[in-house]
Amino acid sequence: MTGAPPIVEMTGISISFPGVKALDAVDFRLFPGEVHTLMGENGAGKSTLIKALTGVYKIDEGQILVAGVERRFGGTADAQAAGIATVYQEVNLCANLSIGENVMLGHEVRGPFGINWKATHRAAAGVLATLGLEQLDLRRPLATLSLAIQQLVAISRAMVTEPKVLILDEPTSSLDANEVANLFTVIRKLRDQGVAILFVTHFLDQVYAISDRITVLRNGGFVGEYPTRELDRTTLISKMIGKDFATLRSLGSERQTHHYEPRGEPLLKAEDLGRKGSSEPTDLELHQGEVLGLAGLLGSGRTELARLLYGADRPDSGTVWLRGKKTDIHNPTAALSHRIAFSSENRRDEGIIRDLTVRENLVLAVQAKRGWFRPLSRKEQDALTRKYLAELNVRPADPERPIKFLSGGNQQKVLLGRWLATEPDLLILDEPTRGIDVGAKAEIQAAVAALAAKGVAVVFISSELEEVVRLSDRIIVMKDHRKLAELENGPHVTAETIVAVIADEGDDEEGDSE
């Protein structure tokens, strides 16, 4: 690798937006046949650097060499023509077109009578086959595929032009462990073919699993470039956040040693709670002050169960007792009035309301609970907002800014504030830390621990098993929309324990993994 010249070399890149220096003298090199990860907190400048490379943003200073020639691209299409393809976090495909059409969109094979669909589909099949997707039916609409396969189709689409550089911007944020493994197989294959891959992710495990080198950015500045094997996790994190990692780490271990013994009557008891097609009948008990983790792969039914508890979906079987009384929770309004709150995993569509301000987003649930004819005065709203912005360390702490201008982590904190403001006895958090940076993650975990200590019952759902293990008192392991096992958490329980529970079950049914 050291012998070959870099395919991309960016030196001293600076970009200013009005009032902010988004990138300040950043260097970046990418060699053929390597996976190079770009690390940094939200707002560190990762996306900006990618957009500088592909020409979406104009650079103010610095030099970009591609294959030894100085280049300034005019946009993604221009960069693609020069062999730099980008796959973004959100799948940018047309759900209602077929797989083949999606892969070849804009690169259709043309004959004398317009598009030659036969040849086009043949070309699409060829590209898909190189990524191990030859079993896909090209004529099926894209929407019938899982998000993970769609992600792979998006990569296939990028590979149509046979790029020398492939940029993957958080391709794994909505994939489960199995799907990530599949994606990595594909990435390794491409790397071995000599493609230079620039990878952006928030998941540390994945960084260490796939990348050869790491470049760390912080606040738009260049921190350093390191071979992965010479940089341990603790050092990497402290380089990303620029402060001591010990403070972050102490929090989790504290929680695990404290184990809560449930006493007396459960806060919530569910029997046979289920809904046809989404959740098998499940029994569940929840006590005050306890954190119940729901673990399982993506699509294992964690979210569906949580939605039933909140009434976001209507259960069609089972009984729920709340504080010992039989209760019917058939919609969110009812749940809120029973002091149950639920934060959806889908922050963008079911969480924030983009065009409302931070204050409006924060007071919405409290206000809805009171009814519109009993408005919170502006003073009360401001007090609530101030309180939670400070408590959860939201930045910028500007209540009148539309929430869409905040980073993902800070949006999530505002949402947490929204639910806390309703003073819930039971708080259901579905993937509250997905796609947010290490610092915000630690703060949200700390907030969850503090809530439990105050006597709130918390249901905590996360794809990161370590996180579930660290925070929970009890863990329910789910698979195929049903409860597989219930584990009392303790020093003997680790992420591997949970994986083993899921895997053991899988062996009986003849797993479909490779």
Partner 1 sequence: MRDVAARRGAIMRNPAFWGVIAIAALLAINVIKDPSYLSIGYNGETGRLSGNLVDILRAAAPILMIAVGMCLVVATSGIDLSVGSIMVVAGAVSMELLSGMDGSTGNAALTLAVALGIATALGAVNGILVSVVGLQPFISTLVMMLAGRGIAKVITGGQNTTADNDSFAWLANGYVAGIPVVFLLAMAIVALVWLLVRRSALGLMLEAIGMDSRASRLAGVKRRNLQLTVYSVSGLLAGVAGVFATASVMTVDVSRTGYQLELDAILAVVIGGTSLAGGKFSIGGAVIGGLLIATLDKTVVFLGIPASATPAFKAIVIVVLCLLQSERVRSLFRHRRALRAQSQKEAVAA
- Residues 6 or more apart whose Cβ sits within 8 Å of residue 325: none
Task: Write down the H helix ranges in 311-377.
Answer: 332-337, 358-370
Neighbouring C-beta atoms of residue 104, cutoff 10 Å: 24
CB 37 → partner 1: shortest distance, Å?
A: 33
Give yes or no for a contact between 293 and 469, defined as CB atoms under 8 angstroms apart: yes
- Least distance from partner 1 to the Cβ atom of residue 310, Å: 8
* Residue with smaller CB distance to partner 1, 341 or 465: 341
Q: Which stretch binds partner 1 (CB under 8 A): 11-19, 177-185, 211-219, 371-379?
A: 371-379
Nearest to 165 by CA among 190, 201, 128: 190
Can residue 349 be called a binding residue for partner 1 (CB under 8 A)?
yes
User: How far out from the chain centre does Cα 168 lie?
Assistant: 14
Rounded Cα gap, residues 184 and 171, in angstroms:
10
Of 125, 364, 495, 499, the one binding partner 1 by CB under 8 A: 364
Contact criterion met (CB below 8 Å) for 50 and 170: no
For position 67 contacting partner 1 by CB under 8 A, the verdict is no
Q: Shortest distance, CB of residue 314 to partner 1, whole angstroms?
A: 13
The least distance separating partner 1 from the CB of residue 356, rounded to whole angstroms, comes to 7
* Among the listed residues 83, 274, 301, 351, the single contact to partner 1 using CB under 8 A: 351
C-beta closer to partner 1: residue 336 or 426 = 336
Is the distance from CB of 484 to CB of 477 less than 8 angstroms?
A: yes
Distance CA 128, CA 490 (A): 45
Applying CB under 8 A, which of residues 127, 210, 306, 365 lies at the interface with partner 1? 365
Q: Which residues pair with 458 in a beta bridge?
A: 291, 427
What are the structure tokens assigned to 138, written together? Answer: 């090209």
Kindly identify the residues of this chain, within the stretch 326-345, that bind partner 1 according to CB under 8 A.
332-333, 335-336, 342, 344
Q: Pick from 354, 383, 401, 455: which binds partner 1 (CB under 8 A)?
A: 354
DSSP assigned state of 453 = H
- Least distance from partner 1 to the Cβ atom of residue 352, Å: 7
Q: What SS3 state is found at 179?
A: helix
360 counts as binding partner 1 under rule CB under 8 A: yes
Among 259, 339, 369, 387, binds partner 1 (CB under 8 A): 369
Contact pattern from residue 408 through residue 437 relative to partner 1, giving x for each residue in contact according to CB under 8 A and a dash for the rest: ----------x---x---------------
**Pick from 10, 298, 312, 436: which binds partner 1 (CB under 8 A)?**
312
Q: Where does this chain touch partner 1 (CB under 8 A) — which range of 356-364, 450-458, 469-477, 495-503? A: 356-364
Select 114 or 371, whichever has its Cβ closest to partner 1. Answer: 371
Interface with partner 1, residue 367, by CB under 8 A:
yes
Please give the sequence-ordered ranges of beta strands (E in DSSP) within 276-425, or none if there are none: 279-286, 291-295, 317-322, 325-327, 340-343
Kindly state the tokens that stand for 8: 């991309």
Question: Please, what is the minimum distance in Å from the beta carbon of residue 458 to partner 1?
Answer: 17
Contact 302, 430 (CB under 8 A): yes
Dihedral in degrees, nearest 10, Cα atoms 420, 423, 426, 428: -20
Using CB under 8 A as the binding rule, the residues of this chain from 372 to 411 that contact partner 1 are 372-376
Residue 480 binds to partner 1 (criterion: CB under 8 A): no
Closest to partner 1 by CB, 244 or 328: 328
Q: Work out the end-to-end distance of the chain between its first and last CA atoms, rounded to an integer number of angstroms.
A: 30
Q: Should residue 262 be labelled a site residue for partner 1 when binding is judged by CB under 8 A?
A: no
* Whole-angstrom distance, CA of residue 442 vs CA of residue 244: 13
Q: How far is the CB of 150 from partner 1 (least distance, A)?
A: 21
Q: What's the gap between Cα 471 and its chain centre?
A: 18
CA angle 154, 222, 69 (to 5 degrees): 65
Query: Applying CB under 8 A, does 141 fall inside the site for partner 1?
Result: no
Which residues contribute to the site for partner 1 (CB under 8 A)?
Answer: 310, 312, 332-333, 335-336, 342, 344, 349-356, 360, 364-365, 367-376, 418, 422
